[in-house]
């Protein structure tokens, strides 16, 4: 019989975009802004240390997951 290949992509689930959170709520508490900023700086440091540039940092490309975990997306 022929060879059967199945590809499965598994990704994290994000509750939404930072842009949507800002649009819905209008603002965020300072503690939450600080937590997001720390995660973004850490992510950018990691990327830059591996010679990777994001080049499109904006709220639409920042996903917010459970417990405030932030993920960068859309690397073009």
56 an active-site residue? yes
Question: What is the predicted pLDDT for the residue at 30?
Answer: 94
Tell me, yes or no, if the pTM score tops 0.85: no
Q: How many CB atoms lie within 10 A of CB 63?
A: 20
Q: Residues 15, 25, 56, 74: which is the catalytic one?
A: 56
The per-residue pLDDT for range 16-72, each reduced to its tens digit, is 888 888 888 888 889 999 999 999 999 999 999 999 999 999 999 999 888 889 999
CA–CA separation, 76 and 58 (whole Å): 13
């Amino acid at each position: 019989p022929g060879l059967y290949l199945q590809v499965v992509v598994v990704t994290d689930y994000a509750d939404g975009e930072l842009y949507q959170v800002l649009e819905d709520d209008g603002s965020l508490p300072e503690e939450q802004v600080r937590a997001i900023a720390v995660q973004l700086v850490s992510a950018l440091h990691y990327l830059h240390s591996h010679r990777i540039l994001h080049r499109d940092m904006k709220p639409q490309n920042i996903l917010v997951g459970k417990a405030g975990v932030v993920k960068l997306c859309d690397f073009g």
